[in-house]
Amino acid sequence: MKTRCLALLIGLSGLAACATQPAPVAAAPEAPATAVAADATPMDDAEVARYADRVRAEALHAWQGYRRYAWGHDDLAPLTLKPHDWYAQSLLMTPVDALDTLILMGYGKEADEARKLIDTQLSFDQDISVSHFEVTIRLLGGLLSGYQLTRDPKLLALADDLATRMSPVFDTPTGLPWTKVNLRTGQVGGPISNPAETGTLLLEYGTLARLTGKQAYYDKAKRALVATFERRDPKTGLVGSAIDVRTGDWTDPSSHISGGIDSYYEYLWKCWKLFDDPDCLRMWEASAPAMNRYLADDVDGALWYGYANMHSGQRTESHYGALDAFLPGLLAYSGDIARASRLQDSGFRMWRLHGIEPEVLDYRKMEVVSPGYALRPEIVESTWYLHRLDGDPRWRRQGAAMFDDFVRYTRTDGGYAALRSVVTKEKTDRMESFVLAETFKYYWLLFAPKDAIDLDNVVLNTEAHPLQRVPATP
Ligand code: DMJ
């Protein structure tokens, strides 16, 4: 195959290479079972190589759109071909998020340009109040993986500076972090958080601790994760959707595996894989059974995960969507291939309903609840974990079918555009940085050589930034 893993070539160890909910939209007739059932014919090497090359070429198309129309800004607006920034100052979301994807795909010149832009232009000395969670997973994660792949000391220095500026968030009576922080003044705000925001920090802060020797980073992020876990309901073991970081009281008892909780579960398992921290394994082993008992929902033989009250375990909503679709990957990664496979087949059925997945689906009625598609990666991420871990050819077939639909419905002259509605296929002017960090990366990994990521030594954060295991210093 023509695609190559630059990380392999440069000999790095470890690396070889929320949704608003509008009124329900009328459902099109459910796709017939035959169309939903995945083709399981194995791909030959030539077909796999063709898909890898197409994904790689389309990723470059998206990057070149950013490069041409939005250079130095956070994102590309892919319809108006104008730059978009999250805050008053750009934080280079797309270049930082895309750097490791460009490196892995072997785009050396483009990666070098991105790295130089970051080195020379990115400053966190900005009077802006930012989302601690988003900046951690995208920027801290991206700077750390970029550093581990290039050994450019400026990237580690930027990560250390960013984490220092954000650290005031941890100063609460509970150890649960504030959701917002001003990068210049350290002023914090945003007292109502959720498990994803309080619990998706340890991979990034922990890796930074190992790389800098500053153990406090690890301890603060771990304390936040443990504080979330310890507030699970004592009867069901479930966590809720909203929590007050000042008191530790739940302000919304709705439990699910969707946005706002999703990556909390992810990091319980992944912090065990990355750091061998036995507390992480203990917390995962106490949490996964609760999720599987109360949130899993068997509907006519198909497996879904819906909503329940965290205190009673009673079912509330039968909703599943693009964000929830990470769970098959996590189930597979943690060893539960059987549940993972059944849930991924349900996710693919959701995709096939309108030829591309909606943000939220009512899986009992098979009706779209929230019709947007933000170019999210999760369902692709799950095909990659499943293919990587059980080798069933149907995962590549699902991924190939989804990639064909993705290109057909979301490609624009200047990049890729989110959909306002998967029913009408109307586009909207957003291309989030996670498209290059995650969506293209997971599509490419699905067709790339197995050693592109060494899963024994590398753990991908929730933004798909590959973090290498770093030994703890005594
Ligand atoms: C990404 O920023 C991360 O994957 C996060 O955990 C969830 N949402 C987006 C992608 O959909």
Q: What is the DSSP string of 444-472?
A: HHHHS-GGGS-TTTEEE-TT--EEE--PP
First CA to last CA distance, the chain? 43
| Coarse DSSP helix, strand, coil percentages of the chain, rounded to the nearest 5 percent | 50, 15, 40
Measured from the Cα of 262, ligand 1's closest atom is 6
Asked, for residue 350, whether it belongs to a domain, the answer is: yes
pLDDT at 22: 35
Asked, for residue 474, whether it belongs to a domain, the answer is: no
Q: Is the CB of 434 under 6 A from ligand 1?
A: yes
CATH of the domain at 133: 1.50.10.10
Asked, for residue 389, whether it belongs to a domain, the answer is: yes
Between the CA of 323 and the centroid of ligand 1 the distance, in Å, is: 7
Using an 8 Å Cβ cutoff, are 16 and 373 in contact? Answer: no
Q: How far apart are CA 436 and CA 334, in angstroms?
A: 26
Q: Which of 237, 241, 250, 235 is nearest to 283 (CA)?
A: 237
Pocket test for ligand 1, best of 265, 270, 463 (most atoms within 8 A of CB): 463
Between the CA of 282 and the centroid of ligand 1 the distance, in Å, is: 25
Asked, for residue 473, whether it belongs to a domain, the answer is: no
Q: How far is CA 148 from CA 63, 151, 211, 278, 468, in A?
A: 22, 6, 9, 25, 7
| Residue 185, domain extent | 6-468
Collect all residues with Cβ–Cβ distance below 8 Å to 131 and sequence separation of at least 6: 179, 180
- In a 10 Å sphere around its CB, with 0-12 CB exposed, 13-18 middle and 19+ buried, how is residue 52 labelled? buried
Asked, for residue 325, whether it belongs to a domain, the answer is: yes
Between the CA of 67 and the centroid of ligand 1 the distance, in Å, is: 23
Asked, for residue 424, whether it belongs to a domain, the answer is: yes
pLDDT at 473: 78
Closest-CA residue, ligand 1 atom 6, reads 462
Helix (H, G, I), strand (E, B) or coil at 45: helix
Instruction: Tell whether the torsion through CA atoms of 310, 315, 319 and 323 is positive or negative.
Output: positive
Between the CA of 99 and the centroid of ligand 1 the distance, in Å, is: 17
Asked, for residue 23, whether it belongs to a domain, the answer is: yes
Q: Is the CB of 463 under 6 A from ligand 1?
A: yes
Report the alpha-carbon angle 139-144-149, nearest 5: 125
Catalytic residues: 134, 262, 359, 378
Q: Is the CB of 167 under 6 A from ligand 1?
A: no
Closest-CA residue, ligand 1 atom 8, reads 323
User: What burial letters (b/e) apply to 283-308, b meaning 16+ CB within 10 Å?
Assistant: bbeebbebbeebbbbeeeeebbbbbb
Residue ranges in the chain whose pLDDT is less than 50: 1-35
Q: What is the phi-psi region of residue 373: left when phi exceeds 0, alpha when psi lies from -120 to 50, beta otherwise?
A: beta
Asked, for residue 10, whether it belongs to a domain, the answer is: yes
Closest-CA residue, ligand 1 atom 3, reads 463
Measured from the Cα of 200, ligand 1's closest atom is 6
If one counts the domains in the chain, the total is 1
Q: How far apart are CA 255 and CA 194, in angstroms?
A: 11
Between the CA of 462 and the centroid of ligand 1 the distance, in Å, is: 6
pLDDT at 133: 99
Q: Which of 410, 257, 372 is nearest to 323 (CA)?
A: 257
Between the CA of 34 and the centroid of ligand 1 the distance, in Å, is: 31
Measured from the Cα of 259, ligand 1's closest atom is 7
Q: Is the CB of 194 under 6 A from ligand 1?
A: no
